[in-house]
Amino acid sequence: MHRLSPEEYTQTEKLPLVVVLDNVRSQHNVGAVFRTADAFAIEGLCLCGITCSPPNAELHKTALGAEQTVSYTYYEHTTDAILALKDRGMKIYAIEIAHDALSLDEAMAHDHTQGVALVLGHEVFGVSEEVLALCDGCIELPQYGTKHSLNVSVTAGIVMYEWATRLRNETAHAK
């Protein structure tokens, strides 16, 4: 199936994409984000506030070992994670319903040579106001049914896939 070993994966070049989990309460959601991050070989995760971190048996049920291959950093305060990523020159986008939110395509059209961080929030309360104030913008995924949001791990999967595809295409065209 041409899958990398964990040792090979650690040596693989990662995409300049970081996912920040702002007080995500479900251990299963966190595990699913780890697994998706591994699938797209992104740079890593920032686990913030009440978001669990490895080792964690419930997280492992959905991560299936990706918590051992994906780089992560824990921050007590999400704002500290955002400021550290900004110091690296990364663009920060919250995935959140907001009046001035960009579409995913609009956000991806901007220059991201220094990398991008995508912030996903608490399953009920979303990304905190304090964190939103530090972001370069919000991205809203259009929805056409009766619900106003998707599960956080589903949303993470959608945005990671789209960003990874775009970044890989840009890299391929640059060569």
State the architecture of 16-174 in CATH terms: 3-Layer(aba) Sandwich (3.40)
pLDDT value at residue 175: 66
The mean-pLDDT minimum among 2-11, 104-113, 125-134, 154-163 falls in 104-113
Model pLDDT for residues 18-66, shown as the tens digit of each residue: 999 999 999 999 999 999 999 999 999 999 999 999 999 999 999 999 9
Q: How far apart are CA 86 and CA 116, in angstroms?
A: 9
Percent over 70 (pLDDT), the chain: 98
* Displacement of CA 140 from its chain's centroid (Å): 14
Do 81 and 46 contact (CB within 8 A), yes or no? yes
Is residue 81 over pLDDT 90?
yes
Tell me the average pLDDT across 89-117.
90
Q: What are phi and psi of 40, to 5 degrees?
A: -100, 5
pLDDT value at residue 127: 97
Mean pLDDT of the chain: 94
**Residue type at 11?**
Q
Do 120 and 24 contact (CB within 8 A), yes or no? yes
Tell me the angle at which helices 152-174 and 27-40 cross, rounded to the nearest 10 degrees: 10
**Structure tokens, 23:** 């007080």
Give the closest residue to 58 by CA, choosing from 24, 88, 28: 28
The mean-pLDDT minimum among 10-14, 41-45, 83-87 falls in 10-14
Tell me the average pLDDT across 68-83.
98
Q: What confidence category does residue 148 fall into, taking pLDDT thresholds of 50, 70 and 90?
A: confident
Tell me the average pLDDT across 125-152.
94
Q: How far is CA 55 from CA 61, 62, 72, 100, in A?
A: 11, 13, 12, 38
Tell me the average pLDDT across 105-114.
84
40-65 burial string, b = 16+ CB within 10 Å, else e? bbbbbbbbbbebbbbeeeebbebbee
Do 42 and 18 contact (CB within 8 A), yes or no? yes
